[in-house]
Chain A
Amino acid sequence: MKTTTVNLRADAEREARRLAAARAIACNVRRSARAGPTNIHAGPHGGVAAACGPLIARARGARRRQTLGGRLLFIWQVGCEDGSGRPAAAAIVAMLVHVTASAVDAGTRLRDLVEQIGAEPPAAIERVLAARTREVVESCRAHARARLERERAIAAWHAAPARGTPVRYQAGLFDRRSERAHRERAADADEAEDVARARVLAAEAAAAAAPGRPRLLLVLVPFG
């Protein structure tokens, strides 16, 4: 018997605070959803599934513009996909970026610029996104690795010689019950081994989490 303990108290408290804040915001989102769709929805594994390109807005109000201080607010989604291309995890990255005013002087050019940044982020942005993506991928891999190890252990356990006491019947001249029982047990063991092996392959695919392409979701510009 081997047991272990882990102290996640601080993390759990932080997580509870985050969840409480997310609940409060989600409540607000539900209320305002009546005003119409935004084409941005919660995804199944965290993050969002956006059915449109980035949404751009101009900051209204002096205070908000002052806060932005001439910078653009970019909100990205980074994430990873499992071996079958399914989104496995996602996280949001917000960043303030200096862009010269001359680069953005008209509505059409702003859209082009945003699309260009969304398609090919500049190196400085790329570095930040890559760092956050690594965190997400690592977290996703740690979860998948634990499962993979367990699946491998299960497969090894089932591949080992059959456990349990064999069913014994009194031998008789025409009695083949023991042989039949033995054959059934062997067939069950073979099937279990096959299933366990298939599950290991699936777990390996899930553990091969690869970084997904960052997606630019929202942009707030300080001028307009």
Chain B
Amino acid sequence: MQKPPPPRPGDLVVVRRSRWRVVDVRSYADCALVTLESALRPSAGARRRVVSPFDPIEPVDRVPRARVVGPRIWRRACRAVIAADVPAGGLVAARTAAIELLPYQLEPALAIVRGIGTRLLLADEVGLGKTIQAALVASELIARGGVDRLLVLTPAGLRDQWVDELSRRFAIGATRVDARTLRHTAVALPVGVNPWTTVTAAVASIDYVKRPEVLPAVASVWWDLVIVDEAHTVAADSDRRAAAHTLASRAPYVLILTATPHSGDRDLFASLCDVGAVDAAPLLVFRRTRSDVGIAARRRVHLVRVDATAAERRMHAHLIRYADAVRAERGRPRGAETLLALAVLHKRMLSSAWSLAQSVDRRLRALAAAGDSDDGEQLLLPLGDPAGELTDADQPPAWPSTLALADRERERRLLTALLTAASDASRHESKVRRLATLLRRTREPAVVFTEYRDTLSHVLRSIARPAILLHGGLRREERAEALQAFASAPAAVLLATDAAAEGLNLHHRCRIVVNLELPWNPSRLEQRIGRVDRIGQTRAVHAFHLVAVATGETVVLDRLRARIAVAESDVRAADPLSDRSQECAIARALLSGEPDDEDDDSKPASGCRA
């Protein structure tokens, strides 16, 4: 029997004893997926999808004759025709998307539609709407039939945000995929069916997808579009990068999203640009700054130099003494490993004396418990977190075995002295006191960033303001509660670690970001400020960097500046340390309680000591 020809869009047909108009037909080898719209009232406009020939489609025989109509009907038809018109190289889906039409946000979608590229890096400055641009590309490709399967790889904390944006603005029904949803899906499927194949638009955490037991199932589905969000996290050679590359290298369209593509390390930038590369075709880069798109930059950066107390200087001296002892003993062969381990201790100290004290205390207890055993701390398996919601990136790593002295008694003595000094210093920490002063005088919501969870709890005890904690140890619901609390409490302070705050939009709530210590990666610094410095921020943003004098943090500052200079020259990266105006005067005013005169340009810009 000869197969009847598939209907064409616009045809009137009868399906299941009802009259429909054919909207779209997608032909496959043995069948056609037909989208229908009801042609009868009262359900006119309702849509259904049927598979032909399994659902018989009978054409309504009607010769399309010209018809003379009244001017009202003609005008209406004319408007419909003009509204639906898409000129060659124009966008189909943007008209119906619930977005403000900002020309620069249309550029990536135009580039894809015009065949200029298939692998794009969207590296606009923070807060310029990369998610919207990526979702616009996705909806455009879906509308043109170029994408049947979409995969968004994002940090765990941003999955709900992605699902919401895709659904609310672009009517793309995306599914948040994690261990729980896959388990539920698998239950209803025949044995052997990969649950990932049942999801057409998946939003998944990169940390979940990279797992060796998960990745093969995800990779066996050939995704048409892979979006890697916060892609700076997949730049370094790691399981994350391997997973992102495996998935992207099979996808015809790849979008790499990050506001901080370059951290001053050219190798890492090259590695990022190679995600999904399978040939010599170049990566199409979109990097726009606020000034490029005509949005005035109103960011004020304040370098607040904080004098260390005598106790803090003593703690620093004890740490140096311990570090010298370890390096003298370990020497060259394991030099780099030892240096890295010592760097973590330094980072802990720069974060807070309390944080260092916690690390040293744990080491001393481990030494007491293990006797002379040379083993490091036992690493914990993520058994309590099957959904991959938690992260321990804001926890100190296990104390490495290289960070030890052969003479355990001497090590105990040095560490005990360090612990005593750190405990003393933690009672009156100069940075925490400065932070408390700053928060007391600003009297408006603020976000305080630090690298470690231990420091968060210490700061929480030390400031006299309602504060909410946001760290990697919170589950999805707890994070949502914390953000809700921050949004509703007046003049609340959000104490956050980088691991938890990535990708958050806090610009409607506040404009002040305080960095308790300088992260060693300039990307991280820019990401922190980007939480409040985004499109829609109506006021000047203030970023305060607290820099401890005489503790080595000024060295960190110099290194950061050097890395920022490299990134700036390569990709016009933003400078999160720049003194763009007379911010020092404002900082001084904030810290001293004098009136804040934002319009006074007469004072020179420089770092300030508070």
A57 to B73, CA, bound (A): 9
A223 → chain B, closest Cβ, in Å? 13
A3 to B285, CA, bound (A): 7
B-binding segment of A95-103, A108-116, A121-129, A170-178: A108-116
Q: Are A49 and B10 in contact (CB under 8 A)?
A: yes
Contacts known (A1-B270, A29-B79); A38 close to B110, Cβ less than 8 A: no
A-binding segment of B140-148, B167-175, B501-509: B140-148
Interface check A69, CB cutoff 8 A:
no
Interface check A210, CB cutoff 8 A:
no
Interface string of A133-161 (1 = CB under 8 A from B): 00110111011111101110110111000
- In this complex, how many residues of chain B approach chain A with their Cβ under 8 Å: the count is 91
Q: Are B27 and A143 in contact (CB under 8 A)?
A: no
- In this complex, how many residues of chain A approach chain B with their Cβ under 8 Å: the count is 96
B604 → chain A, closest Cβ, in Å? 36
Among A18, A86, A88, A115, point to the contact of B90 (Cβ < 8 A). A18
Residue on A nearest B261 in the bound complex, by CB? A3
A38 to B71, CA, bound (A): 12
- Within A22-59, the residues touching B (CB, 8 Å) are 22-23, 25-26, 28-29, 32-33, 35-59
Interface string of A8-24 (1 = CB under 8 A from B): 11011101101110110
Q: Are A44 and B24 in contact (CB under 8 A)?
A: yes
Q: Are B79 and A53 in contact (CB under 8 A)?
A: no
Residue on A nearest B21 in the bound complex, by CB? A51
Interface check A90, CB cutoff 8 A:
yes
Q: Are A86 and B86 in contact (CB under 8 A)?
A: no
A48 to B81, CA, bound (A): 6
B194 → chain A, closest Cβ, in Å? 13
Interface check A66, CB cutoff 8 A:
no
Q: Are A217 and B77 in contact (CB under 8 A)?
A: yes
Q: Are B119 and A150 in contact (CB under 8 A)?
A: yes
A1 to B277, CA, bound (A): 9
Q: Are A29 and B285 in contact (CB under 8 A)?
A: no
Q: Are A55 and B21 in contact (CB under 8 A)?
A: no
Interface check A189, CB cutoff 8 A:
no
Q: Are B66 and A92 in contact (CB under 8 A)?
A: no
- Within B352-402, the residues touching A (CB, 8 Å) are none
Q: Are A40 and B81 in contact (CB under 8 A)?
A: yes
B139 → chain A, closest Cβ, in Å? 12
Q: Which residues of B contact A220 (CB under 8 A)?
A: 74
A75 to B77, CA, bound (A): 11
Q: Are B95 and A19 in contact (CB under 8 A)?
A: yes
Please indicate which of the listed interface residues A15, A36, A44, A192 has the most CB atoms of chain B within 10 Å of its own CB: A15
A202 to B418, CA, bound (A): 67
Contacts known (A87-B9, A139-B114, A153-B279); A12 close to B88, Cβ less than 8 A: no
A143 to B91, CA, bound (A): 12
A94 to B6, CA, bound (A): 30
Q: Which residues of A contact B78 (CB under 8 A)?
A: 75, 218
Q: Which residues of A contact B296 (CB under 8 A)?
A: none
A107 to B67, CA, bound (A): 10
Q: Are A53 and B66 in contact (CB under 8 A)?
A: yes
Q: Are A91 and B278 in contact (CB under 8 A)?
A: no
Q: Are A75 and B94 in contact (CB under 8 A)?
A: no
Interface check B92, CB cutoff 8 A:
yes
Q: Are A20 and B101 in contact (CB under 8 A)?
A: yes
- Within B276-315, the residues touching A (CB, 8 Å) are 278-287
Q: Are A55 and B85 in contact (CB under 8 A)?
A: no
Q: Are B110 and A28 in contact (CB under 8 A)?
A: no
A18 to B84, CA, bound (A): 11
Residue on A nearest B269 in the bound complex, by CB? A1
Residue on B nearest A78 in the bound complex, by CB? B88
Interface check B180, CB cutoff 8 A:
no
Among B10, B21, B79, point to the contact of A32 (Cβ < 8 A). B79
Q: Are B69 and A57 in contact (CB under 8 A)?
A: yes
A28 to B84, CA, bound (A): 12
Interface string of B100-130 (1 = CB under 8 A from A): 0111101100111111111101000000000
Q: Are B27 and A38 in contact (CB under 8 A)?
A: no
Among B63, B71, B95, B117, point to the contact of A26 (Cβ < 8 A). B95
Interface check B325, CB cutoff 8 A:
no
Interface string of A182-213 (1 = CB under 8 A from B): 00000000001001100100010010000000
Q: Are A41 and B37 in contact (CB under 8 A)?
A: yes
Q: Which residues of B contact A6 (CB under 8 A)?
A: 111, 116-117, 284
Q: Are B27 and A86 in contact (CB under 8 A)?
A: yes
Q: Which residues of B contact A89 (CB under 8 A)?
A: 86, 88, 144
Q: Which residues of B contact A36 (CB under 8 A)?
A: 73
Contacts known (A32-B76, A150-B281); A56 close to B87, Cβ less than 8 A: no
Q: Are B91 and A25 in contact (CB under 8 A)?
A: no
Contacts known (A3-B283, A40-B81); A33 close to B273, Cβ less than 8 A: no
Q: Which residues of B contact A143 (CB under 8 A)?
A: 112-115, 144, 146
A182 to B88, CA, bound (A): 49
Q: Which residues of B contact A118 (CB under 8 A)?
A: 66
Q: Which residues of A contact B551 (CB under 8 A)?
A: none
26 A–B pairs (Cβ distance < 8 Å), ordered by A? A3-B273, A4-B283, A19-B106, A28-B79, A29-B83, A38-B77, A38-B80, A41-B21, A48-B84, A49-B22, A50-B64, A53-B66, A54-B67, A56-B66, A58-B71, A85-B6, A111-B66, A142-B114, A150-B253, A153-B278, A154-B249, A154-B252, A196-B250, A199-B222, A199-B252, A206-B146
8 smallest CB-CB distances across A and B, nearest first, come from A46-B86, A57-B74, A142-B115, A146-B115, A49-B10, A139-B88, A153-B279, A53-B64
Q: Interface residues, chain B, CB within 8 Å of chain A?
A: 6, 8-12, 21-27, 35, 37, 39, 44, 63-92, 94-96, 101-104, 106-107, 110-119, 121, 143-146, 222, 249-253, 269-270, 273-274, 278-287
Given A48-B80, A139-B89, A143-B112, 5 other A-B contacts at CB below 8 A? A4-B282, A8-B110, A41-B37, A56-B66, A86-B25
Q: Interface residues, chain A, CB within 8 Å of chain B?
A: 1-6, 8-9, 11-13, 15-16, 18-20, 22-23, 25-26, 28-29, 32-33, 35-60, 75, 77, 84-92, 107, 110-111, 114-115, 118, 135-136, 138-140, 142-147, 149-151, 153-154, 156-158, 192, 195-196, 199, 203, 206, 217-220
